[in-house]
Amino acid sequence: MDIQHIISINSEILSGTSVFTGTRVPIETLFWHLEDGISLDDFLQDFPSVKREQAVGLLEMAQKTVVSPKFLQWIHEMGA
């Protein structure tokens, strides 16, 4: 799934907060739910305008980012 089908940023929607495309649900809401131990299924039930493919696509992008060599190099340079 293309990023445009997952994330949308529009200054007229929630003051430019990144949201799931076609919704007013901020991207960070998914991560807050997961941090609180709320399952993906429960998140999708709480926010039915978000498609499962969008949520899974976002998680896949996040996973690819944190294991990318550039990110790992940046972490190393930051002294973490």
- Domain range list for the chain: 3-77
Assigned CATH topology for domain 3-77: Arc Repressor Mutant, subunit A (1.10.10)
What does the buried/exposed string (b/e) look like for 10-20 if buried means 16 or more CB atoms within 10 Å of the residue's CB? eeeeeeebbbb
What one-character-per-residue DSSP string does 51-66 give?
A: -HHHHHHHHHHHHHHH
Greatest CA separation for the chain: 41
**Model pLDDT for residues 16-26, shown as the tens digit of each residue:** 999 999 999 99
51, 23 contact by CB (below 8 A): no
Q: Does pTM surpass 0.85? A: no
State pLDDT tens for residues 35-80: 999 999 999 999 999 999 999 999 999 998 888 888 778 878 887 6
**Given the structure tokens 């690819």, which residue do they identify?**
64
Contact 42, 29 (CB under 8 A): no
